[in-house]
Amino acid sequence: MTTTDDTGEGSFAVAEVPDAVAEAALARAEAAESKTKPGWLDRFVWNALWKVVGVGLIVAVGLVVAFRVQDLLRMLVISVFFALAMVPAVKYMHERWGWKRGAAVGVIYAGLLLFVVLMVLVLIPGIVEFANQVGEQGDEWVAELNAWTEDSFGVTAIDESSAADAAGVTDEALEGWADQLLGLVSSGIGLIFNLATIALFTFYFAADYDRIERAIMSRMPPARQQVYGWVSDTALEQTGGYFYSRLLLMIINGTLFFIGMVLVGMPVLFALPLSVFEAFVSTFIPAVGTYIGAAVPILVTLAVQGLVAALILLAWTLVYQQIENYWLSPKLSAETMELNGGVAFGAALAGGAIAGPMGAFMSLPVAALITAVISNLGKTYEVVYHSKYASTVDPASEDSSETAEGEAVPAE
């Protein structure tokens, strides 16, 4: 290609650039620009890095604080559990008799305190009397046990040297307990402080439950309020229903066991505290609680009244266990807490392993709540396959016939 300069003095030739070469040069220029680090990248990296560091520090501080106040958190959890159990009764007193919620909680506390005082007044004399009888008739009981084992099995259960060693061990144990009396007093003071703290938190949670729930729900959109409200109502029903049905079972069990102990000849001073112990353990420990709770009263009856009376109590325990499992407990718990027996036993074991006796006590309503929430989540479909190993009666049809109308469900 030829061109002329602006002065008009001459012309010179300029080579035409092919299109392929121009496109290649443009591509190389764009690639070079793409390799250049954008200006916003450094700001993004530093901002993200500071956020990660900040979140990590907050989590670390939170874990340290939670570890330091783990006793307080544990007491708060226990307080919430007892408050949930008390709220239905408080609501009933408030609506039925017009009492203030704080006054209703105070009446419940007064009843519990009266029960504890009466039990202490009964338990301490019973324990002292039993210890006196053991001291006075211990040699006679050992002689009777040896005579029975020699006649039945040809062996001596407890020889004289073993009895003397046991007496020596008992004396040493008593001396050790006397030396640790100050530590026991200190532990007792700590226990009283923890109980007072739990009682205080429980009082506020139960008395102000309505305002606490409204304050929490005011921070939620309406759809989430429906879900939270359903879960909250279910928690109250499961916790309160479990507690009240268990309490009624405890009263029935303890009364019948007390009558049985009196009929076999046990003194009332022994029968009353042992019946309360048996009723509490057998009611609040699932499956094996009846046998664990009845073991101590049966052994005491064996020592005081002999083999026949102990066998009568054992027979009554076995009979009552069947009555409670197959008739009494389902009737009382039908409208309060539905929980599979295997799930209940596993939940009690898990709760005991995590938090000890209190964890085992609290595990059943928690397991019932989780089961209720899971059963209402997601979609359900009609079962079209019928296994030849399954029952010919559909369990769902039986359950649906017993379900109350108008039951609230969480919003989707």
314-333 residue pLDDT tens: 999 889 888 887 787 777 76
Q: How many residues does the chain have?
A: 412
Distance CA(334)–CA(312), nearest Å, equals: 31
User: What separation in angstroms does the CA of 350 have from each of 141, 160, 243?
Assistant: 40, 44, 19
Q: What is the pLDDT of residue 344?
A: 72
Distance CA(237)–CA(334), nearest Å, equals: 12
Strand partners, 4: 11
Residue 98 above 60 pLDDT? yes
Q: Are 218 and 93 in contact (CB under 8 A)?
A: no
Find which of 50-59, 202-211, 289-298 is predicted with most confidence, using mean pLDDT.
202-211
* Section 384-388 average pLDDT: 77
Q: The tokens of 16 are what?
A: 């035409």
Average pLDDT, the chain: 74
For the chain, domain boundaries = 241-378
What would the DSSP string read from start to end of 202-223? HHHHHHTHHHHHHHHHTTS-HH
Instruction: Give the rounded distance of the alpha carbon of 175 from its chain centre.
Output: 38
Distance CA(184)–CA(88), nearest Å, equals: 37
Q: The tokens of 295 are what?
A: 């073991």
Find which of 130-139, 222-231, 255-264 is predicted with most confidence, using mean pLDDT.
255-264
How many Cα atoms within 13 Å fall on the side-chain side of residue 158?
14
CA terminus-to-terminus distance, the chain:
77
Distance CA(392)–CA(397), nearest Å, equals: 11
Q: What is the pLDDT of residue 339?
A: 65
Q: What is the pLDDT of residue 403?
A: 44
Tell me which of 20 and 64 has the higher pLDDT. 64
Q: What is the pLDDT of residues 337-372, one digit of tens each?
A: 666 667 777 777 787 777 776 777 777 777 777 777
* DSSP 8-class letter at 154: S
Q: What is the pLDDT of residues 169-195, one digit of tens each?
A: 444 544 454 455 445 445 557 778 888
Q: What is the pLDDT of residue 19?
A: 63
All residues at 6 or more sequence positions from 156 whose CB lies less than 8 Å from its CB, including other chains: 146, 149, 150
Q: Are 303 and 270 in contact (CB under 8 A)?
A: no
pLDDT category of residue 402 using cuts at 50, 70 and 90: very low
Residue 259 above 90 pLDDT? yes
Q: Are 80 and 205 in contact (CB under 8 A)?
A: yes
Of 147, 149, 126, 145, nearest in space to 137 by CA: 145
How many Cα atoms within 13 Å fall on the side-chain side of residue 179?
6
* Section 380-389 average pLDDT: 77
For 2, list phi and psi in degrees, rounded to 5.
-115, 140
